[in-house]
Chain A
Amino acid sequence: MAEPEAVEAPRSRFAEAIWASLPSVLSVGLSLLVCLLMIAITKGSLSIAGSAYLEMLRGGLGDFEAFGEAGVWTLLTRPWGEAATKAAILTFTGLSVAVAYRAGLFNIGAQGQMTVGAIAAAALGAKLSLPFGVHAAVCVLGAAAAGGAYGIIPAVLKLRRGVHEVISTIMLNWVAISLVENWLVVGPLRAAATGDNSISGTDQIAATAALPRLLSDGSRLHAGFPLALLAAFAAWIWLFRTRLGFETRAMGQNAEAARAAGIPSARRSLQAMVLAGALAGVAGSLLVQGTELRFPATLGAPYGFDGIAIALIGQTHPLGVGASALLFGILRAGGTRMQLLHVHKSFPELIQGLALLFVAGRLIWQWALTRRAKRAPAASGPPAPAAPAPPAPAAAVPSGGGA
């Protein structure tokens, strides 16, 4: 029986990756364009909008023209440091969301896990005295442990009592923030006042606990950045090259089939949530050990929530998460420079939000792309999800609810 199968030309893995990332790339491009037009409309001039974008790039990638004239390295390394610092934190929170997502769990709790990790890093950094190198590593690991432990709670609630992780992680965010900022930071861990200076937040961490700077003094580029790249790579290896990662992904995409195949779903869920919490915890430690050098009165930046956007724009693929974190790290670092042209610095966040919105409409992208592909018969894409059911739907319809 020769069935009329759609014969597809095998695509190379590289082409496959390009194809898969297209919706995200187009979404980001579209949101950049929309924001450009919005700036142009509010400022009444497209050229101002263009210059604002140029300033943003200078702020994120370095002011190459000024460097060319003056030859001062900090003109490049300082922006790099800002972009890399932000990108590193976004990578970790993005990976946190992505890893849980691949296991079929929606982790909205990266913010809380990050907060817990940050306070752990701050406490260990201030209270312990360990040699250089060891101290920083201990703080990072402590933050990972704290975040991971905080990730156990929603996992256990889900496995034991069936509480949906979206609900529990959202609520645990507020528990974490309240416990840490309203009690620990103003109570037991409050910085000792030195003379007349009353400092808000916790004590400053020891110099040995700070993440070592990698470039000249003018740049805040620290060891957290390569650590983030390493983490993204490791998460990719784990998810896509190891047996455990395979089991986790299978569970995330069809929990029933995974269970029937003998995969211990409860254990894999718990592992994924602990890992997600640990990754978010490390994001907190980077914030403390790389930027703030203490736990400030309030953590402020909602990097944990940004992680959701970063993960989804990166299509929950660890390497995609790394790429999208890097991009938005650059845009955000450069956003402040747009103020030179009286453009509000929050535009990068707007770009990020719009990109998320467009990625969420991915089905529409795929539909548009396959329509194009259909017109050009050489290329072939995934079937359009909006198309009417193929003529043999009986095979795919679940059985009538007899049981």
Chain B
Amino acid sequence: MAEIELKSARLIQLSHISKAFGKVLALDDVSLELRPGEMLALVGENGAGKSSLMNVLYGLYHPDQGELRIKGERVRLRGPKDAIARGIGMVHQHFMLVPTLTVAENVVLGREPTRRGLLDLKRAQQEVEATCKRFGFQLDPTARISGLTVGSQQKVEIVKALHRGAQVLILDEPTAVLTPQEADELFRVARGLSAEGHTVVLISHKLKEVLAFAQRICVMRRGKMVASVAASQTDTRRLANLMITGEEESAAAPSLHVTAEGSAAATTASAGEPLLKLDGVCAGPKLTGATLEVRAGEIVGIAGVDGNGQRELAEVVTGLRPVDRGEVRLCGATGSLDPHEARHRGVSHVPEDRLLHAIVGPMRVDENVSLGRQEQPPFARGPWIDFTGRRERTQALAEAYDVRPRDPSIPCGRLSGGNQQKVVFARELDARPKLLVAVQPTRGLDIAAVAAVRRKLLEEKARGVGVLLVSLDLEEVLALSDRIYVMFEGKVAGERPRGADERELGALMLGGAAHG
């Protein structure tokens, strides 16, 4: 690994980079400099161009215009391989690990040490162990990826990048899937790397953690770099303003910001009759005994680390997953559930993965709006599709929920993620549910869309709808919920009222044993 001159002011210079995808200008004359040992955060809404810019640096995208200099030398990266060779590493939001292989095997994958043409596993393990030791990671090189927690898997990704000689480490939304404790650990590691002279770039839209982590914060908006500020000289409000309006002080943004940050409306409507009661419900290997209750007019949050049975819980309530044991009392009845029956009893569902579970991408927007109620007016008249009724209802909903473009005849899959989510919300709430099951409802949305979704959830609650909110984003659960259940290994590990301490919840999410 080539030692670089730590004192050189510019390690990497991106100058006047532009990149267009079809009609959309993803990057519009963006310049950015990275200094050695710097901890930089890149913030902006979804689609602002953060990831595109970093993908240019990582060699995944070729810029249409502009130049890239590494250590003063002008370079053209033909692909990630070039970037890695020049000391640039990236940890993607979705890990690129082979779950059946060990830590060491994953780290050396693609550049395995060989002896007489065969993989030298022992040397691989020694090398990886040395790298771990050098950078202070506590990882067992012989452990299988599938047995590691998400936080540890992320460490493996970082070790992989460092093992290949990364001087610049790009972390793309690294805390999205971590508990607060794991996030703290990640930032501790990142600070250590920075102290050693590595440059760390954090892509994020969580402003609090950005302020806690970075020395310098660059704000992007609609493909442009709108500001580069020292972390010590700004705050969440000013950053949010920059992200939304491009200006530090703005009249319109603060209200948006407050809602986005989510302080639950103080209207603690006295919770009504119980809508959902689970008693020791087991379903499949992941859900092993859930007991909880949701009443009318309250938002009940489900917190937990990914994969602890939250998803299965939502599937049970919406009738998608059969119950093995235990009792489900839903809207006054206990009979067995299927999706049709659940909808019939008044359950609406905003699933985690829109494109997989909520939307038929190639179908038109109005067809998607009718999905689930395709046999009722105004979507059907007897056995026939009611084209006029369907179009009119869709247009009304598109207007009410600000779906863009308004045209009900374009394929739903061609809308942006935020607009697809609006279609799903419009459809599910138009059914006038008694109970709304929302799983990760703001995942992948930009600030304005997040604010809109959260506002909707609070509105529904005020109308007397019971909301079961499953989210991996603890901040979101805390901001919206009246009560919070924490799930751990398929069971409800605890119940906390609103305003519970984030650390305490984090400890519960890890099975009660707090570390860090």
Q: Which residues of A contact B (CB under 8 A)?
A: 1, 3-8, 10, 241-244, 246-247, 249-250, 253-254, 256-264, 374, 382-384, 387-403
Q: Top 8 A-B pairs ranked by shortest CB distance?
A: A395-B417, A402-B307, A262-B340, A395-B444, A391-B26, A402-B306, A392-B47, A261-B372
Complex contacts, B407 vs chain A, CB 8 Å:
8, 10
Q: Is B338 interfacial (CB-CB < 8 Å)?
A: yes
B51 touches A391 (CB 8 A): yes
Q: Is B358 interfacial (CB-CB < 8 Å)?
A: yes
Q: Is B136 interfacial (CB-CB < 8 Å)?
A: no
Most buried by B among A5, A6, A257, A393: A257
Most buried by B among A393, A394, A401: A394
Q: Is B414 interfacial (CB-CB < 8 Å)?
A: yes
Identify A249's interface contact among B95, B319, B363, CB under 8 A.
Answer: B363
Nearest-neighbor residue (CB-CB) of A251 within chain B: B360
Nearest-neighbor residue (CB-CB) of B47 within chain A: A392
B375 touches A399 (CB 8 A): no
List 8 interface pairs A-B (beta carbons < 8 Å), by A numbering.
Answer: A6-B24, A243-B374, A254-B356, A256-B356, A394-B51, A395-B416, A402-B150, A403-B307
A391 touches B358 (CB 8 A): no
Taking CB atoms and an 8 Å cut-off, the chain B residues in 305-341 that contact chain A are: 306-307, 311-312, 318-320, 338-341
Tell me the minimal C-beta distance from B456 to chain A in angstroms: 16
A398 to B374, CA, bound (A): 26
Q: Is B108 interfacial (CB-CB < 8 Å)?
A: no
Nearest-neighbor residue (CB-CB) of A377 within chain B: B23
Q: Is B173 interfacial (CB-CB < 8 Å)?
A: yes
Determine the interface band of chain B, counting residues with CB < 8 A from chain A.
35 or more
Complex contacts, B414 vs chain A, CB 8 Å:
382-383
Nearest-neighbor residue (CB-CB) of B320 within chain A: A260
Identify A392's interface contact among B46, B349, B354, CB under 8 A.
Answer: B46
A390 touches B383 (CB 8 A): no
Q: Is B343 interfacial (CB-CB < 8 Å)?
A: yes
Identify B21's interface contact among A10, A243, A254, A388, CB under 8 A.
Answer: A388
Taking CB atoms and an 8 Å cut-off, the chain B residues in 372-392 that contact chain A are: 372, 374-375, 380, 383-385
Tell me the minimal C-beta distance from B405 to chain A in angstroms: 5
A243 touches B340 (CB 8 A): no
Tell me the minimal C-beta distance from B499 to chain A in angstroms: 28
Identify A394's interface contact among B353, B375, B444, CB under 8 A.
Answer: B444
A261 touches B371 (CB 8 A): yes
A249 to B371, CA, bound (A): 11
Identify B374's interface contact among A247, A389, A393, CB under 8 A.
Answer: A247
B445 touches A241 (CB 8 A): no
B405 touches A7 (CB 8 A): yes
Identify A262's interface contact among B343, B361, B420, CB under 8 A.
Answer: B343
Q: Chain B at the A interface: mostly helix, strand, loop or mixed? A: loop
A260 touches B222 (CB 8 A): no
Q: Is B177 interfacial (CB-CB < 8 Å)?
A: yes
Tell me the minimal C-beta distance from B429 to chain A in angstroms: 15
A243 touches B357 (CB 8 A): no
A383 to B415, CA, bound (A): 12
Q: Is B370 interfacial (CB-CB < 8 Å)?
A: yes
Tell me the minimal C-beta distance from A238 to chain B in angstroms: 10
Complex contacts, B46 vs chain A, CB 8 Å:
392, 394-395
Q: Is B410 interfacial (CB-CB < 8 Å)?
A: yes
Q: Is B286 interfacial (CB-CB < 8 Å)?
A: yes
A391 to B177, CA, bound (A): 21
A400 to B449, CA, bound (A): 22
Taking CB atoms and an 8 Å cut-off, the chain B residues in 45-62 that contact chain A are: 46-47, 49, 51-52, 61
Identify A4's interface contact among B222, B341, B440, B449, CB under 8 A.
Answer: B222
A403 touches B286 (CB 8 A): yes
Nearest-neighbor residue (CB-CB) of B344 within chain A: A262
Complex contacts, B409 vs chain A, CB 8 Å:
10
A10 to B409, CA, bound (A): 9
Tell me the minimal C-beta distance from B468 to chain A in angstroms: 16
A391 touches B371 (CB 8 A): no
A253 touches B384 (CB 8 A): no
A374 to B370, CA, bound (A): 33
Complex contacts, B419 vs chain A, CB 8 Å:
3
A390 to B51, CA, bound (A): 11
Beyond A242-B383, A242-B385, whether A391 also contacts B446 by CB under 8 A is no
Identify B357's interface contact among A3, A241, A247, A257, CB under 8 A.
Answer: A257
Beyond A247-B374, A256-B356, whether A392 also contacts B417 by CB under 8 A is yes
A387 touches B22 (CB 8 A): yes
Identify B61's interface contact among A6, A374, A388, CB under 8 A.
Answer: A388
Beyond A250-B367, A387-B21, whether A257 also contacts B356 by CB under 8 A is yes
B52 touches A256 (CB 8 A): no
- Per-residue 0/1 for B15-33: is the Cβ within 8 Å of any A Cβ (1 yes, 0 no)? 0000001111010000000
Identify B24's interface contact among A241, A244, A260, A390, CB under 8 A.
Answer: A390
A396 to B445, CA, bound (A): 11
- Per-residue 0/1 for B275-316: is the Cβ within 8 Å of any A Cβ (1 yes, 0 no)? 000000000001000000000000000000011000110000
A387 to B383, CA, bound (A): 41
Most buried by A among B22, B341, B358: B22
A391 touches B49 (CB 8 A): yes
A292 to B338, CA, bound (A): 50
